[in-house]
Structure 1
């Protein structure tokens, strides 16, 4: 075992080291202790003691390249006028008897458990590198508002929450996670959790919330968190594994698929905006929330069963039809995130593994909505079969002269990102507490329309994030109401001629 391998082993298994003079002490979970660990610590005792004397913020335990997904986020975020648009913010409203010490210990344990939460990302000689620093405990920040009147406390809490979410990370120097507890009143608190998208996707957030519940419960009952076995895989493991996944022949074959699939169709939309594009966009974004009610959800699921496809394909086809009618463009390309949690070893890895697939839906080539659904399903499955880093696909288009904005640039103009978040589950069960979890938008956008659907207990919750420079609130609400209406109409008449399907916008 090399020193680097030992340091990574210590980080993965949460083995804590301290040094006093020339004496090295260690504290390890029972499952990580054993003769091999003791022998390695003895072998590298001098190096470890010197390592412990380095500043805590510079104690590196391992480093690795970035995965293609991490690199894509970093490249696009670096070009963004508002890097905070890549923040993922959650507000957990906690009502009941909160054990603050247990919550502090559980959050600290999550940071110790996952490399992605201790990573520093920067260019090293032109290539992106992630440095994983040793864990260093930081007390849970607490914002005390209990002395204020209830209404004033809530207003101040909203401000603090928004400031936490809207503050950009500097990935070269900051850990990609921050959190704080806001105490509004006795028995009422908010836990605000903010992650940089380079460290998470929807599935990773679900894993973190699940583990937070386990850590809180065990810390509350036993004084320290117990998450069970160490995390099976880390962001560094995935990045190293990914390096050998595409040989040159596979890469050429899959790029040829994307060239044929996207063809000469438009990647951006010309929508009936309320306002022309400003010379200097503000980057400000707003969120329109809507719901697909239970009867419409049932109709969507029935059509999906009848056609042997996923609900994602049905909802994507309806969205493509909506934007085709709004824009007058018969071909619509949706950027559709794919969870990409394969192979199974990486199912619960905390990092960003989701990959955006540009799926072209040709509304003019379908006679019925059922055919359009089949086309969307075929495009999704073929995209998964020909999975490549999104940057490579856009780089090929740039090389072919389709987009001169940069080597891995996204299409110029307004694009549409559509996510059916079936792996995103924000439910969390904490003893003696009622918990409600809300996503908190940063208030700045990514120069795209972002539409997400999240299955709820009854219907499907949805939101549209849109740029306020171009689109008015009333227009956003009208578009999404039209989408729900068109989805219901299309599922009810899936085998009728497509031109006969009417919605509230036409």
Structure 2
């Protein structure tokens, strides 16, 4: 393909092409050490889950809210004449093509097994909201229901949808899959196939019983079997050794200041804040990345690690980041849970300059990506960190860089399909999750947070701190990262001046116990001290103080004698 023809492609198409080329090269280079993924022979009706599926299944056992944190929703606006039967037929065909959409999970000896149905249809419910006075309110209601309704991993199905009719030529399609059978790449595969199949059935007259798409070379269960066989020898040991060396002794918990104490059991409730960098700052960060040989992903990761380090008071932070993990051509066209998570240990010690930090992060990311094959679940097992129900192991911060499309609508004849903006999150897999992408020349995204720990106002300040840090990094790459000012002028004045404006006029020449006694005379019934729902008035506290004073005098204590006190803080 020529350069000019690539320039005419959309960003999404270019990124997909480059990703496929990279996967093909990796597959070719690794061919000598990787056995081919072959279709499994017939026989059993249940198959081992992948390592990633095994982890999500265990998380789902913690309750519906934990499982709902791993829903993958995507919503589309459909404008134009819609053939609803062709849409249903296209979705049904996708279920037939991909075994993972016909899979449920049942435990065998405490481990989840994939049970794959021979046949199945896509569960698409239909609602007619046209003519209703509050159609938009009803739309928001169904979006909330669809996003939050739990899946039954044992009974299935683990993919569902709702088609909402708003008018003659206006519909909204809500699709929700559980992460255990899908990931971000999978949603792209689903939309590509849905577009092709709908076009074939609705516009080209292809019978709905046929499949005009190329046959899939393997299924997800084939990959799961191959993964368990391949990651059982030298490759596994080599990569496990890398992660053991990298993460041994790393901080197990990020010590960010929180608005509330951490619950004993992680609650998974969450919210999110939108984030947008203006075009000037976005371009300055691109220039900074070009200068230091980093990607935007690396530069933004460096900034967030620096912010987390300063807020937590830690020289090291561990941040999780996802990788597509589709390094084999065979798995590219599959819907399934392939994405892996890398735990990046980032070193902020020694007051590095912006340039030095970028170099450290770049090296760490490249090394981690070279050892991305071993599943995160195995890394946890190798390191054996102290397990806690209160937080995720190894890291509690997640950073994701999304390869954004141009947002162009897909045209299916006279029907236009376009993704709706993401809804605010209602769940949180981690303490904080920062997701960013480059859209229309601006870096945009959102900061998700656990509402059990943080208030929205606190997160709004964090967003402003991150912007200030990024501006400082882009403005001078020779300065120490920890010297970049985070506070705006107003907040700085509040912290340094307003909060320290504590000057008061007090009576001079009197001891504090005399002042207290005078206050007890003036307001004997006023509350002087409180603890755990109990309180003492000034009169009561003064009486207790006098009793203690008389007791000390009987022990021989006189004026100016020192008395050591050892007791819990209490009334």
Classify the TM-score, shorter chain: 0.7 to 0.9
Query: What aligned pairs does 1:185-264 form with structure 2 within 5 A after superposition?
Result: 185-223=167-205, 224=207, 227-264=212-249
1:297 aligns with 2:279: no
Which of 270, 273, 294 is the aligned partner of 1:309? 294
Aligned to 1:429: 410
Pairwise mapping of residues 399-410 of structure 1 onto structure 2 (< 5 A)? 402-405=385-388, 410=392
Could you tell me which residue of structure 1 aligns to residue 462 of structure 2? 479
Contact 1:205 1:424 in 2 (8 A): no
Written as runs of structure 1 = structure 2, the 5 A alignment for 1:275-354 is 275-278=260-263, 283-354=268-339
Q: Determine if contact 2:76/2:417 at 8 Å carries over to the other structure.
A: no
Match of 1:452 in 2: 435
Distance 2:315 2:336 in 1: 36
Offset at 1:61? Answer: 8.8
Q: Which residue of 1 aligns with 2:447?
A: 464
Tell me the CA shift for residue 255 of structure 1: 2.4
Measured in 2, the distance between the counterparts of 1:342 and 1:138 equals 29
Contact 2:123 2:159 survives alignment (8 Å): no
Q: Which residue does the alignment assign to 2:93? A: 109
Deviates more, 1:218-227 or 1:239-248: 218-227
Q: Please report how far the alpha carbon of residue 296 of structure 1 lies from its aligned counterpart in structure 2 after TM superposition.
A: 2.5
SS state at 1:417 partner: strand
Change (3 A) 1:138 1:311: closer
Aligned partner of 1:271 in structure 2 is: 256
User: How far off its partner does 1:426 sit?
Assistant: 7.2
Answer whether contact 2:123 2:161 (CA < 8 A) is retained.
Answer: no
Supply the distance in 1 between the matched residues of 2:165 and 2:313 (Cα, whole angstroms): 51
Whether contact under 8 Å (1:394, 1:410) holds in the other structure is: no
**Residue 75 (structure 1) aligned with residue 61 (structure 2):** no
The 1:138/1:416 distance shift into structure 2, 3 A limit, reads closer
Instruction: Please say if residues 66 and 130 of structure 1, whose CA atoms lie closer than 8 Å, have aligned partners that are also in contact.
Output: yes
In the alignment, the residues of structure 2 paired with residue 424 and residue 118 of structure 1 have an alpha-carbon distance, to the nearest angstrom, of: 29
User: Is residue 127 of structure 1 aligned with residue 108 of structure 2?
Assistant: no
- The residue that corresponds to 1:162 in the other structure is 144
Residue deviations 1:189-212 (CA, integer Å, cap 9, x gap): 110000000111111111111211
Structure 1: state its 5+ residue gaps.
1-59
Indicate conservation of the 8 Å contact 2:57/2:180, yes or no. Answer: yes
The offset of 1:248, in angstroms, is: 3.8
Please give the alpha-carbon distance, in whole angstroms, between the structure 2 residues aligned to 1:140 and 1:495. Answer: 56
Moved more, 419-428 or 138-147: 419-428
Cα 1:233/1:490, change in 2 over 3 Å: farther
Under a length normalisation based on structure 2, what TM-score does the superposition of the two structures give? 0.72
Is the 2:47–2:115 Cα contact (8 Å) retained in structure 1?
Answer: yes
1:28 corresponds to which residue? Answer: none
Q: Match for residue 20 of structure 1?
A: none
- CA deviation string 1:279-307 (max 9, x = no partner): 66654211111123332332222222222
Change (3 A) 1:139 1:198: closer
Task: Tell me which residue corresponds to 1:395.
Answer: 381
Taking structure 1 as reference, are residues 138 and 369 closer, same or farther at Cα in structure 2, changes over 3 Å only? Answer: closer
Name the counterpart of 1:41. Answer: none
Once the two structures are superposed, residues 243-262 of structure 1 have per-residue CA deviations (whole angstroms, 9 ceiling, x without a partner) of 22234443333223222212
C-alpha RMSD over aligned residues = 2.5
Cα distance in structure 1, aligned partners of 2:424 and 2:59: 18
Distance 1:62 1:384, change over 3 A: farther
User: In 2, Cα distance between the equivalents of 1:454 and 1:251?
Assistant: 32
The alpha-carbon distance between structure 1 residues 452 and 139, as it changes in their structure 2 partners (threshold 3 A), is closer
3-state DSSP class of the match of 1:371? helix
SS at match of 2:94: helix
Deviation string for 1:312-346 (max 9, x for gaps)?
11111000011111111121100111111102222
The whole-number CA distance in structure 2 between the counterparts of 1:171 and 1:285 is: 22
Unaligned 5+ segments in structure 2 are 1-42, 493-571
TM-score between the two structures when normalised by the length of structure 1: 0.80
Q: Distance in 1 between matches of 2:281 and 2:473?
A: 10
- Matches of residues 34-113 of structure 1 in structure 2 within 5 Å? 62-80=45-63, 82=65, 83-113=67-97
Inter-partner Cα distance in structure 2 for 1:384 and 1:231? 27
Confirm or deny: 8 A CA contact 1:418 1:451 kept in the other structure. yes
* Partners of 1:257 and 1:366 in 2: CA distance: 26
Cα displacement (A) at 1:218: 1.6
Matched pairs, number: 439
Q: For the structure 1 residues 389 and 440, does the alpha-carbon distance in structure 2 shift closer, same or farther, using more than 3 Å as the test?
A: same
